[in-house]
Amino acid sequence: MAEIVNLRQARKQKAKAGARATADANAAKFGRSKAERARQEAEAGKARRDLDAHRRDGGDGSDAE
């Protein structure tokens, strides 16, 4: 005899598998590891500090004389 299959459960399992495949594809396409995120944040912070270090004080226009 054939095995009895609950169609509701089979439909839910198929949808879950499809969602998992989509999630895995998006993670591979857009995801970054924790180390990559930390490195990028550190680089952005350094760039911001370097830019601020080159900023002139007294931006009231008195330097233009």
Q: What is the pLDDT of residue 56?
A: 87
Q: Is residue 25 a contact partner of residue 19, using CB atoms and an 8 Å limit? A: no
According to the model, what pLDDT value does residue 64 have? 54
pLDDT (0 to 100) of residue 58: 65
User: What CA–CA distance (Å, rounded) separates 62 from 49?
Assistant: 25
User: 10-residue block means of pLDDT along the chain (65 residues)?
Assistant: 93 97 92 91 96 81 54
pLDDT at position 59, please?
59
pLDDT at residue 39, as a whole number: 96
The 3-state secondary structure of 1-65 reads: CCCCCCHHHHHHHHHHHHHHHHHHHHHHHHCCCHHHHHHHHHHHHHHHHHHHHCCCCCCCCHHHC
Please state, in angstroms and rounded to a whole number, the distance separating the CA atoms of residues 64 and 56: 12
pLDDT of residue 40: 94
